[in-house]
Amino acid sequence: MIEFFRSCDWIANVFGIVVVLVTYAIGLWKWLLFKIRIQKIDSVIPSQFESTWSAASGKHIATVAIVDDQPLDFPIDELTLAGFNISSFTQVHLVDIPKLASYDIVFLDIKGIVKDNPEYGGLILIAELRRINPTQKICAVSSRTFDPTATEFFKQADSQKKKPLTAQECKAVIETFIQQVFDVANVISNARAVYASMPPKQKKVVLNDFKHSLLHNEGADVFDSTLSAAKVNTSEMRRVVVLLYRMIHHAC
Predicted TM-score (pTM) of the model is: 0.81
Q: What is the pLDDT along the chain (252 residues), one digit of tens a residue?
A: 555 445 555 555 555 565 555 555 555 544 444 444 445 889 999 989 999 998 889 999 999 999 999 999 999 999 999 999 999 999 999 899 999 999 999 999 988 899 888 888 888 999 999 999 999 999 999 876 556 567 888 899 999 999 999 999 999 999 999 999 999 999 999 999 999 988 888 888 889 999 999 999 999 999 988 887 766 667 788 899 999 999 999 998
pLDDT in tens, 51-101: 999 888 999 999 999 999 999 999 999 999 999 999 999 999 989 999 999
Are 109 and 131 contacting, i.e. CB atoms less than 8 angstroms apart?
Answer: no
Are 162 and 140 contacting, i.e. CB atoms less than 8 angstroms apart?
Answer: no
Are 246 and 61 contacting, i.e. CB atoms less than 8 angstroms apart?
Answer: yes
Q: What is the pLDDT of residue 152?
A: 82
Tell me the domains of the chain and their CATH numbers. Answer: 63-181 (3.40.50.2300), 183-251 (no CATH)
Which residues, including other chains, have CB under 8 Å from residue 114's CB and lie 6 or more apart?
91, 92, 93, 94, 121, 122, 124, 125
**182 vs 192: CA distance, rounded Å:** 15
Q: What is the pLDDT of residue 2?
A: 52
